[in-house]
Amino acid sequence: MYYVTKRMEIAGAHSLTLSYESRCEQLHGHNWVVTVYCRARELNGDGMVIDFKHVKEKIHGYLDHGNFNELLPFNPTAENIAKWIVDQIPECYRATVQESENNIAEYCED
């Protein structure tokens, strides 16, 4: 099995819809750190699991400097964003989304 990891920083804003009062219900921004984990049993014709450039275009290119509430069809929690990332890239099996220094969410396919 081959594994590759792509880490990128994404500037973006969101507001959360929550079942309790929170300052996070107001629009606010983060410098998100996203790590995308991909794997393949065999390399593609170019000798890669996936081109890092394609991962960056698909995730960073779509989200960077955006309002996640407008770009994503769900409550943009770090957990939901991690799942969305895995769903965007067939080779991706795991994603971590860090919205601040000590707050990290992870989604991993079983």
Mean per-residue pLDDT over the chain, rounded: 97
Q: Domain of 10?
A: 2-108
What's the pLDDT tens digit per position in 6-36?
A: 999 999 999 999 999 999 999 999 999 999 9
Q: What is the pTM assigned to this prediction?
A: 0.96
**pLDDT above 90 (res 110):** no
CATH number of the domain that residue 59 is part of = 3.30.479.10
What's the pLDDT tens digit per position in 38-61?
A: 999 999 999 999 999 999 999 999
What's the pLDDT tens digit per position in 74-93?
A: 999 999 999 999 999 999 99
Q: Please, which residues bridge with residue 34 across strands?
A: 8, 97
Question: What total number of domains does the chain contain?
Answer: 1
Give CB contacts under 8 A, 24+ apart, made by 67-75: 67/12, 67/13, 67/14, 67/27, 68/12, 68/13, 68/14, 69/13, 69/14, 69/15, 69/27, 75/16, 75/17
